[in-house]
Amino acid sequence: MERILNYINGKLTEPASGQYLENFDPSVGQVYGEIPDSDQRDVEKAVEAAKESFPEWSSKSNEERSRVMIKIADLIDENLERLAKAESKDNGKPLKLARAVDIPRASSNFRFFATGILHFASESHLMDGAINYTTRTPIGVAGCISPWNLPLYLFTWKIAPALAAGNTVVAKPSEITPMTAFLLSELCIEAGLPAGVLNIVHGLGPKVGQAIVEHQDVPLISFTGGTATGKGIAATAGPMFKKLSLELGGKNPNIIFADCDFDKALRTSVQSSFANQGQICLCGSRIFIERSIYDKFRDAFVERVKNLKVGAPMDETSNLGAVVSSSHMEKVLSYIELAKEEGGTILAGGERVVLDGEFSNGYYLAPTVIEGLDYNCRTNQEEIFGPVVTLTPFDEEAEVLQMANSTPYGLSATIWTESLTKAHRTAHQLKCGIIWVNCWLVRDLRTPFGGMKQSGVGREGGWEALKFFTETRNVCVKL
């Protein structure tokens, strides 16, 4: 059994309760470790440590903070293989994906904000008879809460800008995938991050997460997770006037116009549907195809999907690994049943995959393609967050925009067309925070990241993140 610990005030510590939760390896469906079942007492200690370390950390020069953070990034790089294996085992994702995407991105997050802070500047406004200058200064203890789908990637996406801006942090990774956050705490100790600057408390959302959100000494909360959880967090943090960043669910449209580069659209759509077993908030789960190429695209897409290999995460030839948990697998399967009840036809997948030997109890699902559903049925409106996509034909641009915009979500969208004018025109009418044209998941960390409607509040990335993690003060001086 691998037992992990909290990271509080620079030390790896047992939870106050002395109790531990089971941690599952989804590839075999068995418990392989234990994680602290922390509670409000551990959060209290973590906030205390973060408060105490704030004056010193926030008054360090940007260069000093940057140096430690770059050391952490270097250590992540040096431990790439170990971290990738841990991420894959904890989450079920293919090892090659963790090695190519998750872990390198975690190191990039640290490096990006460690260098970004050196170039962060604020404005001044000269007016008749006076000059204004604006300052952006660290706030205090930031609460950072992240989900299970891209564990270290999203955890560091919050922690790095918070620390770079001079805040101290109390962070909670998902209890479903806590392992790489624990390994990060060891790397922070090795890098010489001062005690109390980053504290990581493991445990359940309603206990640990809630205790962070409602703590009066945590004035800002950065949360990524489900829309229902975000709503609850907003209800707690709102009346306390906390600064709040919410990155929530999605139900993203992938729009294929007849004048697209067919092969590119096809190849990338397979990826944008099933990467990470469809468990990326940016996956395009509703594919809209212009009717004149509907049959051709559908047949070619289904053929490719049937050739995807569902296999053990460590197997380098696997395209899809296991989904994250047994309950998540059941949830996805229940949506496939719902799709059938709603009149959908399963063109590929639609069931659990049982692998041989030690993997026979793992949580594997076949990549699933469904057609014949109304755009406004539940399957097409609710987030499934698994390897399931629907295909829907359209005739007119206005029609596809209406269908694409019809969900309560507005995170991302993808458009495939060779017409420049059509690409810009449709991009401007989609109610989504992130739009890709003729590509998917191409990320520049300087760009604003976040969603409209129930996909979130605020934006992360680049200056947006540094602005979120600082307090703005304007000083007006009479000349």
Active site residues: 247, 281
Return the residue of 194, 232, 372, 448 that touches ligand NAD, per CB under 6 A: 232
What is the spatial distance between Cα 414 and Cα 265, in angstroms, rounded to a whole number?
A: 10
- Comparing CB distances to ligand NAD, the nearer of 266 and 432 is 432
Amino acid found at 275: A
Q: Does 248 bind ligand NAD (CB under 6 A)?
A: yes
- Comparing CB distances to ligand NAD, the nearer of 75 and 248 is 248
Q: Does 456 bind ligand NAD (CB under 6 A)?
A: yes
Q: Does 147 bind ligand NAD (CB under 6 A)?
A: yes
Q: Does 213 bind ligand NAD (CB under 6 A)?
A: yes
- Comparing CB distances to ligand NAD, the nearer of 289 and 323 is 323
Q: How far is the CB of 379 from ligand NAD (least distance, A)?
A: 16
Cβ–Cβ under 8 Å, residues 26 and 323: yes
- Comparing CB distances to ligand NAD, the nearer of 191 and 283 is 283
- Comparing CB distances to ligand NAD, the nearer of 66 and 455 is 455
Q: How far is the CB of 368 from ligand NAD (least distance, A)?
A: 18
Query: C-alpha 272: how far from its chain's center?
Result: 15
Instruction: Read off the DSSP letter of residue 447.
Output: S
Q: Does 174 bind ligand NAD (CB under 6 A)?
A: yes
Q: From its phi and psi, is residue 245 left (phi > 0), alpha (psi between -120 and 50) or beta? A: beta
Q: Does 250 bind ligand NAD (CB under 6 A)?
A: yes
Q: How far is the CB of 281 from ligand NAD (least distance, A)?
A: 3
Q: Does 205 bind ligand NAD (CB under 6 A)?
A: yes
Q: How far is the CB of 16 from ligand NAD (least distance, A)?
A: 18
SS3 196: coil
What is the spatial distance between Cα 80 and Cα 163, in angstroms, rounded to a whole number?
A: 22
Return the residue of 42, 90, 175, 371 that touches ligand NAD, per CB under 6 A: 175
SS3 132: strand
What is the spatial distance between Cα 62 and Cα 117, in angstroms, rounded to a whole number?
A: 7
Counting every residue written for the chain, the total comes to 479
The sheet with strand 470-478 has its strands ordered as: 124-127, 130-138, 470-478
Stretch that binds ligand NAD, among 18-26, 209-217, 288-296, 398-406 (CB under 6 A): 209-217
Return the residue of 45, 111, 136, 172 that touches ligand NAD, per CB under 6 A: 172
Q: Does 436 bind ligand NAD (CB under 6 A)?
A: no
Query: C-alpha 46: how far from its chain's center?
Result: 24
What is the spatial distance between Cα 323 and Cα 149, in angstroms, rounded to a whole number?
A: 9
User: b/e for 231-263, b at 16 or more Cβ within 10 A?
Assistant: eebbeebeeeebbbbbbbbbbbbbbbbbebeee
What is the spatial distance between Cα 265 and Cα 406, in angstroms, rounded to a whole number?
A: 23
User: Longest C-alpha distance within the chain, in Å?
Assistant: 79
Nearest to 48 by CA among 172, 245, 215: 215
What is the spatial distance between Cα 244 and Cα 143, in angstroms, rounded to a whole number?
A: 10
Q: Does 260 bind ligand NAD (CB under 6 A)?
A: no
Q: How far is the CB of 417 from ligand NAD (least distance, A)?
A: 25
Stretch that binds ligand NAD, among 61-69, 92-100, 167-175, 261-269 (CB under 6 A): 167-175
Return the residue of 294, 385, 416, 436 that touches ligand NAD, per CB under 6 A: 385
Q: Does 433 bind ligand NAD (CB under 6 A)?
A: no
- Comparing CB distances to ligand NAD, the nearer of 212 and 348 is 212
- Comparing CB distances to ligand NAD, the nearer of 102 and 247 is 247
- Comparing CB distances to ligand NAD, the nearer of 235 and 476 is 235
CB atoms within 10 A of CB 316: 11
Pairing of strands 452-453, 409-410: antiparallel
Q: Does 225 bind ligand NAD (CB under 6 A)?
A: yes
Q: How far is the CB of 222 from ligand NAD (least distance, A)?
A: 11
- Comparing CB distances to ligand NAD, the nearer of 94 and 209 is 209
Q: Which residue has the tokens 């919410």?
A: 246
Q: What is the x/- site pattern for ligand NAD, positions 402-421, by CB under 6 A? A: ---------x----------
H helix and E strand count, the chain: 16, 25
Q: How far is the CB of 148 from ligand NAD (least distance, A)?
A: 5
Segment 95 to 124, residues that bind ligand NAD, using CB under 6 A: none
Q: Does 145 bind ligand NAD (CB under 6 A)?
A: yes
Q: Which residue has the tokens 């140096």?
A: 67
Pairing of strands 11-13, 6-8: antiparallel
Angle at 396 between CA 436 and CA 401, to 5 degrees: 45
Q: Which ranges in 117-261 belong to alpha helices (H)?
A: 151-164, 179-191, 210-213, 227-237
Segment 273 to 292, residues that bind ligand NAD, using CB under 6 A: 281
* Binding stretches for ligand NAD (CB under 6 A): 145-149, 154, 172, 174-175, 205-206, 209-210, 213, 224-226, 229, 232-233, 247-250, 281, 383, 385, 411, 451, 455-456
